[in-house]
Amino acid sequence: MSVNNSKKWKRRKKDRAEEILNSAYKILSKEGRSGLSTRRIAKDAGVSVATIFKYFNDKDDLIEKCYNRLGFDFIDQFQKDLDGIENLRDCLIHLARTHFVRLKRNQNLWDIFTHDINKRLKKNSEIYKLKSTYEDLVKKLILKAKKNGEIEIEAKDSAIINIYHGAIEYIAIKYRMYGEDFEIDETVNDIVNIIFKAYGKKT
């Protein structure tokens, strides 16, 4: 084997896990969880099924790592987007709008974030850490809003989060299951107004 070919082979071997994850992501995006199989992933990545299991313990391990990467990419983008946004209302509007834009752009990926990830939650798993990281970010926004006097100090973080995400998921289910379309900005404002009507600082 020539030196150049040897370097190419080593580089290819080093990149294989990432290439396999990329293929899994592509299939999930186009067809959802039901279209995912190790045979399909192997074909798309240009490797054998046996090669997949050199890098991942089993199919569940591959799926969890794929979901984990997708989720942390979302959180990283979320943190970047919120830089410079000082108040809770605008943060919640941005976050809800992002959810709905993603829903309408790719329903398969929406299903992963709202349903499949929750089904796969195991304490201390990477996905559990992912969910906790996301919730901690939202809690920090709420704590900041309490300090700034935007919402009542007595308001429970869990109550705000449950109402907020419950409303988002309710709209999404009607859209996904019953084809009930909605106008994103109007819906987002309605949801956030509910939060502030219930927990906004009374003047």
151: which strand partners? Answer: 200
pLDDT value at position 142? 93
The rounded percent of the chain whose pLDDT value lies above 90 is: 45
Domains 1-56 and 64-199 share a fold: no
Segment 133-162, tens digit of pLDDT: 888 888 989 999 999 999 999 999 999 999
HSE toward the beta carbon, residue 6, CA cutoff 13 A:
3
Q: What is the pLDDT of residues 54-98, one digit of tens each?
A: 999 988 888 888 877 777 777 787 788 888 788 999 999 998 998
Residue 114 pLDDT > 70? no
- pLDDT of 6: 46
Going by the DSSP 8-state scheme, the letter that residue 151 receives in this structure is B
Which pTM value belongs to this model? Answer: 0.76
The rounded mean pLDDT for the chain is 84
Residue 49 pLDDT level (bands cut at 50, 70, 90): very high
Least confident of 6-15, 84-93, 173-182: 6-15
pLDDT value of residue 117: 60
If you compute the radius of gyration of the chain from its CA atoms, what whole number of angstroms results? Answer: 21
Which residue has tokens 């900005």? 185
Taking CA atoms, 35 is separated from 16, 28, 56, in Å, by: 21, 7, 19
**Residue 102 corresponds to which amino acid?**
R
Q: Which burial class, exposed, middle or buried, applies to 201 when counting CB atoms under 10 A from its CB (0-12, 13-18, 19+)?
A: middle
Mean pLDDT of 38-51: 93
CATH number of 64-199: 1.10.357.10
Which two three-digit tokens encode residue 67?
Answer: 């979901």
Mean of pLDDT values over 165-187: 92
**Domain-by-domain residue ranges, the chain?**
1-56, 64-199
Instruction: Report H helices in the chain.
Output: 3-31, 38-45, 49-55, 59-82, 88-105, 107-111, 117-119, 126-148, 157-178, 184-199
Is 197 buried (19+), middle (13-18) or exposed (0-12) by CB count in 10 A?
A: exposed
The 8 Å CB, 24+ separation contacts for 127-136 are 127/64, 127/67, 127/68, 127/71, 130/67, 130/68, 130/71, 130/72, 130/75, 133/72, 133/75, 134/71, 134/75, 134/78, 135/161
The pLDDT value recorded for residue 50 is: 94
Token pair for residue 55?
Answer: 């890098």
What is the pLDDT averaged over residues 175-198?
Answer: 95
Quickly name the fold that domain 1-56 has. Arc Repressor Mutant, subunit A (1.10.10)
